């Protein structure tokens, strides 16, 4: 949190840490290590640390001592006086810019008032060493929330997911009241035929352990709280849902979204069948609009289970690493989705699109995608081709999990990951994946 230079005092000597004022009834039990430090670890020190302090108000919030010292605007806080403490005023917005930056990152009123109550009670430091890094003793907000969830029964956790799910659903401006159906790992919200609800949850529950087993092998194959699956029958409802819950616009080809690193994690998709039942026999599934592009029509041929699997996998990648390459999350999502719908037109379309990239110069096109450049549909096709090549080719199958793990842990070191996991350099990596695309996908043109 950057400091206002106009508020800088003549004497910037840090305020003494311990105010020994007795806690009031409303603040009794608040501790810096347990209640305040985790807030700073989870929301502030990513920007306000020793490396980044020069461009962020010369403010380092990584230790209690440095929080006291403050930054360009002077001392970080005044014990007993939140209304004169930069730390508090930047959170409330009474000093600008408000922190954390970004409208969708502002802390809840309850969290901000917890900081204010601790300051008012005397800003007592309960640790052993004010010079110690907060991360050495403070739990992250996620760890604290996990501890709270573990205290609840499964029924109580499910109730939290259901309540939040209904709240989010309403933001999609859907006129229908969703049916809420729990599975093993997911809770589905939607208006669908019962048989499709059952089959979709079965697919999602079957695929989730496989996804986690590859992408996050050290994690649990069952989420602590069920993942909400929001299935919208109309694109307009999905678009409004994303606008309201994620504060962004939807790409014209986007059929779903996933946010698995938030409380009550979720996946939201547009039902390929628009809420209708599966057609009898091999007849072509009805589309929801006569005016559809080729991409839209192939997307409509996917099963709901395959579409959800796609976005769950991509969401797990981003949950494990927010800096994971886009091509990796899109590629793994498409790969797992294709395992559910191996013969679907959408899977065949992906392979044709990947071959087209090969035909236009695989090395250059793939390098662009690996570097984060290119249209989403091209990046997805290239990512899918690379992932399927590594997963299917006998010489790379065994190393494929190591490659994925290495890239999630070191997203900016692709060449090192290729060498360490596959024993190759980038040129060999691209040649091998390109040969796979040419050999296997050229047949489907």
What is the secondary structure of 43-100 as a DSSP string? HTTTTSSTTTGGGTTT---SBHHHHHH-BTTB-S--TT-GGG-HHHHHHHTSSSS-SS
pLDDT at residue 165 is higher than 90: yes
pLDDT at res. 140:
72
- Among 41-55, 117-131, 195-209, the range of highest mean pLDDT: 195-209
pLDDT at res. 14:
39
pLDDT at residue 27 is higher than 70: no
pLDDT at residue 15 is higher than 80: no
Say which residue, 73 or 161, is predicted with more confidence.
161
Strands 266-270 and 186-190: unpaired
pLDDT at residue 252 is higher than 70: yes
Length of the chain: 445
pLDDT at res. 54:
64
> 388 near 337, Cβ under 8 Å?
no
* Confidence band of 171 (pLDDT split at 50, 70, 90): confident
Distance from first CA to last CA of the chain, Å, rounded?
55
Q: Whole-prediction pTM value?
A: 0.74
pLDDT at residue 256 is higher than 50: yes
Residues 385-431: tens digit of each pLDDT: 999 999 999 999 999 999 999 999 999 999 999 999 999 999 999 99
Report d(CA 18, CA 286) in Å as an integer: 69
* Confidence band of 281 (pLDDT split at 50, 70, 90): low
Residues 295-335: tens digit of each pLDDT: 333 344 899 999 999 999 999 999 999 899 999 999 999 99
State the chain's mean pLDDT as an integer.
87
- Among 63-72, 283-292, 406-415, the range of highest mean pLDDT: 406-415
Q: How far is CA 163 from CA 129, 223, 264, in A?
A: 42, 18, 10
Q: Which residue has the tokens 């390109």?
A: 434
The predicted model gives 61-78 an average pLDDT of 90
pLDDT at residue 23 is higher than 90: no
Alpha-helix runs per DSSP H in 301-375: 304-320, 326-340, 345-359, 362-370
């Amino acid at each position: 949190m950057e400091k206002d230079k106009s508020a800088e005092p003549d004497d910037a000597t840090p305020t003494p840490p311990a105010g020994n004022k007795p806690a009031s009834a409303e603040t009794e039990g608040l501790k810096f290590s347990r209640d305040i430090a985790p807030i700073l670890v989870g929301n502030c020190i990513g920007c306000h640390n020793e490396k980044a302090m020069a461009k962020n108000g010369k403010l380092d919030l990584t230790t209690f001592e440095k929080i006291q010292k403050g930054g360009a605007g002077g001392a970080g806080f005044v014990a007993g006086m939140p209304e004169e403490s930069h730390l508090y005023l930047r959170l409330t917005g009474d000093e600008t810019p408000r922190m954390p930056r970004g409208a969708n990152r502002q802390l809840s009123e309850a969290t901000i008032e917890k900081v204010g109550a601790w300051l008012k009670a005397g800003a007592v430091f309960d640790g052993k060493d004010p010079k110690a890094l907060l991360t050495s003793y403070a739990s992250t907000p996620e760890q604290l929330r996990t501890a709270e969830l573990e205290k609840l029964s499964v029924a109580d956790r499910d109730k939290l997911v259901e309540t939040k799910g209904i709240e989010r659903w309403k933001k999609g401006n859907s006129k229908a009241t969703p049916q809420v159906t729990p599975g093993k790992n997911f809770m589905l919200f939607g208006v669908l035929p019962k048989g499709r609800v059952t089959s979709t949850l079965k697919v999602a529950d079957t695929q989730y352990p496989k996804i986690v087993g590859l992408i996050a092998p050290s994690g649990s194959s069952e989420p602590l709280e069920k993942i909400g699956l929001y299935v919208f029958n109309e694109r307009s409802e999905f678009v409004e849902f994303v606008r309201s819950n994620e504060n962004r616009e939807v790409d014209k080809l986007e059929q779903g979204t996933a946010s698995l690193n938030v409380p009550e994690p979720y996946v939201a998709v547009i039902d390929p069948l628009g809420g209708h039942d599966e057609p009898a026999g091999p007849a072509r599934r009805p589309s929801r609009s006569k005016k559809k592009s080729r991409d839209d029509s192939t997307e409509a041929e996917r099963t709901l289970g395959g579409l959800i699997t796609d976005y769950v996998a991509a969401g797990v990648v981003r949950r494990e690493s927010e800096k994971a390459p886009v091509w990796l999350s899109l590629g793994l999502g498409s790969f797992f989705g294709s395992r559910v719908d191996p013969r679907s037109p959408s899977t065949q379309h992906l392979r044709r699109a990947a071959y087209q990239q090969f035909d236009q110069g695989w090395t250059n096109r793939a390098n662009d995608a690996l570097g984060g450049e290119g249209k989403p549909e091209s990046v997805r096709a290239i990512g899918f081709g690379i992932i399927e090549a590594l997963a299917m080719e006998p010489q790379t199958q065994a190393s494929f999990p190591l490659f994925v793990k290495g890239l999630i842990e070191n997203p900016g070191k692709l060449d090192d990951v290729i060498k360490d996991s596959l024993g190759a350099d980038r040129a060999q990596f691209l040649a091998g994946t390109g040969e796979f695309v040419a050999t296997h996908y050229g047949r489907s043109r």
